[in-house]
Structure 1
Amino acid sequence: MYEAIVYEVADRVARITLNRPEARNSLSDAMIGELLDALARADADEDVRVIVLTGAGDRAFCAGADLGGLGAKQEAGGSVAGAAAIRESAPFRLFTAFPRLGKPVIARLAGHAVAGGLGLAAACDLVIAADDVKLATPEVNVGLWPMMIMAIINRNVAPKHAFRLYYTGERITAAEGREIGLVTEVVPRAELDARVDALARVIAAKSPVGLRKGRAAFFAIENRPLEDQVEHLLGELVALAGTEDAKEGITAFLERREPNFQGR
């Protein structure tokens, strides 16, 4: 079904692999289209509870935009696209899709994440990286700027750390990425798959309803006044408490057994 990605489902986990290793898994319009389709497919599949996003090979998770395929020439000096055209573009649709997903997304970094690839990793909820992976926003080195992914990175990184990335274009280690908020965990390369699999299993065992509603609430309260946040969250808590999964979870707790969540 796909040419630029690989889509697999096993044990309630959908694994999406960017599959252009010869191009360091760079993002072409075609790949983005397939990735968006795969994300929507996993989101709609009741048998899927967690999504893992990774890149083929160990050279690169994703090297960012395919400069020929994403119109970087226009950004570098061509005419400015209208708002409608921007919203219909592949990059816009990709980076705005993640908050609307109803399932947790784990980025598995076995290779470097640079430019748009770093933005893609940062758009995921959790990032597990091998200890020899490097991260960077090198756009400034060719006279550009990480315009679109800055919206994603700025939500994860404090300004002083962000500007260092943007101004220098230097590569930082996965450990440094963890220190500034871009990476969740750093593990030895030999332990990467085991850790990602273990984390996915833990999350997949939780209530799909709780995960979906909780994730949606996380994004819904961004940049809202405290009173509005608490009002929204209280309403969501009341709604969540009435679900079958919540009732099962509380009953299982009282009966000292593992809950059997059905996603309702």
Structure 2
Amino acid sequence: MYEAIVYEVADRVARVTLNRPEARNSLNDRMVDELLDAFGRARDDDEVRVVVLTGAGDRAFCAGADLGGLGARQSAGDPVADRDAIRQNAPFRLFTAFPSLGKPVIARLAGHAVAGGLGLAAACDLVIAADDVKLATPEVNVGLWPMMIMAIINRNVAPKHAFKLYYTGERISAAEGREIGLVTEVVPRDRLDERVDELARTIAGKSPVGLRRGREAFFAIEGRPLEEQVEHLLGELVALAATEDAREGITAFLERREPDFKGR
């Protein structure tokens, strides 16, 4: 069904693989379209509880935009005035899709993540990287700036660390990425799959409705005043407490057994 990605589902986990290893899994319009379609499939499939995003091979998770194949739909007019054109821009559509995906997303980094590829990894909820992986925003080296991914990276990294990435374009190790907030865990390469699978299984065993509503609430309160955040979260807590999964979880806890969540 797909040409630029591979989509597989097993054991309640959807595995989405960027499949252009000959181009270091760089993003083009076809890949973005297929990723968005795959995200929609995962979101709408009740059997899927977790999404793992990775890249084919061990050379690159994603090298960012394919400069010869991404952005054909960009407007040649005023980018500020032409809002419709901006919303059809491939990076815009991709990065803004994550909050509404509805399922936890784990990035598995077996290869380097640079430029838009780093933004793609940072847009995921969790990032598990092999210990020899490198990260970078090299746009400044060619007179550009990581404009689109800055919105994603700035949510994860403190300004002083972010500016160093943007100003120098230097590559940093996965361990450095963990220290500044871009990476969740760094593991030896030979344990990468084991750890990603373990984490995916653990999350897949939680309540789907709890995960979905909690994740949606996380994004919904972003940037709002504290009073509005607490008001919104209180309403979400009341609604979540009324679900079958919450009742099952509390009952299982009291009965000292594992809960059997149904996603309702």
- TM category (shorter chain) comes to over 0.9
Q: Is the 8 A contact 2:29 2:71 kept in 1?
A: no
Partner residue, 1:154: 154
Residues 54-65 of structure 1: pairs in structure 2 closer than 5 A: 54-65=54-65
Residues 83-94 of structure 1: pairs in structure 2 closer than 5 A: 83-94=83-94
- Structure 2 residue runs of 5 or longer lacking an equivalent are none
Q: Kindly provide the amino acid, as one letter, of the partner of residue 179 in structure 2.
A: E
Displacement, 1:79? 4.9
Q: Is the 8 A contact 2:5 2:31 kept in 1?
A: yes
SS at match of 2:164: helix
Distance in 2, matches of 1:231 and 1:79, equals 42
Distance in 2, matches of 1:21 and 1:41, equals 23
After superposition, the C-alpha distances for 1:88-146 in whole angstroms (9 at most, x for unaligned) are 11111100000111100000000000000000000000000000000000000000000
Partner residue, 1:145: 145
Residues 1:70 and 1:80: Cα distance change in structure 2 (over 3 Å): farther
SS at match of 2:223: coil
SS at match of 1:54: strand
Q: Kindly provide the amino acid, as one letter, of the partner of residue 11 in structure 1.
A: D
Structure 1 position 228 matched with structure 2 position 228: yes
Q: Kindly provide the amino acid, as one letter, of the partner of residue 249 in structure 1.
A: G
Partner residue, 1:7: 7
Distance in 2, matches of 1:45 and 1:242, equals 23
After superposition, the C-alpha distances for 1:172-230 in whole angstroms (9 at most, x for unaligned) are 00000000000000000000000000000000000000000000000000011111000
Give 4+ residue runs of structure 1 displaced > 3 Å after superposition: 78-81
SS at match of 2:248: helix
Partner residue, 1:216: 216
Displacement, 1:170? 0.2
Displacement, 1:69? 1.6
Partner residue, 2:250: 250
- Structure 1 residue runs of 5 or longer lacking an equivalent are none
Structure 1 position 181 matched with structure 2 position 181: yes
Partner residue, 1:25: 25
After superposition, the C-alpha distances for 1:14-38 in whole angstroms (9 at most, x for unaligned) are 0000000000000000000000000
Partner residue, 2:133: 133
RMSD of aligned alpha carbons: 1.2
SS at match of 1:106: strand
Displacement, 1:80? 3.8
Distance in 1, matches of 2:191 and 2:84, equals 45
What is the TM-score with the length of structure 2 in the denominator?
Answer: 0.97
